[in-house]
Structure 1
Amino acid sequence: MGKRLFYWELAGALFTAALGTLLHFTYGWSGGWTPAAAFSAVNESTWEHMKLLFFPMFLTSVVQLCCLGRTYPNFLAVRGVSTLAGTALIPVLFYTYTGVVGRHVMWADIAVFYLSVLGAFALDFRLLRRGRFTSLWQQLLGLVILWGLAFLFVFCTFHPPGLALWQDPVTLGYGPLR
């Protein structure tokens, strides 16, 4: 059972990394199509890069829930925690390294994304194997976390707060590119 879970998690991490990389470009490729803005990066802000991990991981969660949900009754709670941790790792790692170095470096930005994906799925694997967080309220909380994040990512794309996390460092603007 552990080997099967490992392969599911590895596939999820690879899918999330690949789709997240593509989603970095889909808004521009679409010509600024508004529906693409909901799940793609619309600028170079840290918030938009967090979306690149979240939406592929959310999609992976739907597939894995169908295939693994009965085997792992703690799936929703664990996926809520690991998704939240993975998305939070992006600003933590980014602002830590840029604070130390004094500027951002493209290869390090890319590494932050991939390390966050790996961290999220490593945590997911560990927590699923432990078998904790199986109560109904914990599963419901995991579901609320996942759907709450989905709502926030879409809402804040179109209504970004005027905070540094949402500011595009290239244009100094907020929200979708015009």
Structure 2
Amino acid sequence: MSINLKRDEKFILLGIPFIFLLSVPLHFAYDFSGKLPIVGIFTPVNESIFEHLKLSFYPMLLWWFISFLILSKKQKISVPKWFNACVFSLISAPIIITALYYINTGAFGLHSLALDIFSLFFAVLIGQIIGLHIYKHKDANIYDLYTAISIIFVIILLFTFFTFCPPNYPIFISK
């Protein structure tokens, strides 16, 4: 059985190793920057679960955006479909990371860096597959595009706000 993917669809899956590998230096970028607040917007500023969600979100957003710029020069890409798929990918990965963390620690009492790294990889993998599925199978219109862009901006605003004003809930507390 062979999987027949178009160039744009292959780009979505090619993002998996790029996104995962980009998350490694991002994990340490805030400390390496001398704790610059602008860097903290895009990278974890502490060891909380919430801050680590940035390790999937921003590399995925970057990959989807750069891929769009590259692909749109060479072929016709449906902008609404692309960014609609992007949003599904961006939302699913942090949900998966959070769920796996609380299943591992809460249900099984497991605290492991290896499990955390695997969770990130698994979330990126599943997120990109979900994005690919949405891109291939869901039509999107201009309203979907506006909704997708709005959701992306709201998530960025929430990441920024909660980085500097974290509420006192376990997901925001540094381990």
Per the TM superposition, whether the score is higher than 0.5 is yes
* Uncovered stretches (5+) of structure 2, i.e. residues with no partner: none
Can you list the C-alpha shifts for 1:112-157, whole angstroms capped at 9, x where unaligned? Answer: 1110110110111111111x14111111111111111111111110
Q: CA RMSD in A?
A: 1.6
Instruction: Identify if the C-alpha distance between structure 1 residues 48 and 98 changes in structure 2 by more than 3 Å, giving closer, same or farther.
Output: same
TM-score of the superposition, structure 2-length normalised? 0.89
Larger deviation, residues 74-83 vs 3-12: 3-12
Deviation at 1:104, TM superposition (A): 1.4
Q: 2:58 aligns with which of 30, 48, 55?
A: 55
2:67 maps to what in 1? 64
Task: Work out the CA distance in 2 between the residues paired with 1:77 and 1:9.
Answer: 13
Instruction: Identify if the C-alpha distance between structure 1 residues 133 and 6 changes in structure 2 by more than 3 Å, giving closer, same or farther.
Output: closer
2:126 maps to what in 1? 119
Alpha carbons 2:51, 2:172 under 8 Å: kept? yes
* Uncovered stretches (5+) of structure 1, i.e. residues with no partner: 170-178
Task: Work out the CA distance in 1 between the residues paired with 2:6 and 2:17.
Answer: 16
Q: Percent identity?
A: 27
Q: 2:47 aligns with which of 44, 48, 51?
A: 44
Q: 1:15 aligns with which of 7, 11, 18?
A: 18
2:100 maps to what in 1? 93
List structure 1 runs of 4+ shifted beyond 3 angstroms: 67-70
Q: 1:164 aligns with which of 161, 167, 170?
A: 170
Equivalent pairs counted in the alignment come to 168
TM-score of the superposition, structure 1-length normalised? 0.87
1:76 maps to what in 2? 83
Deviation at 1:72, TM superposition (A): 3.3
Alpha carbons 1:40, 1:51 under 8 Å: kept? yes
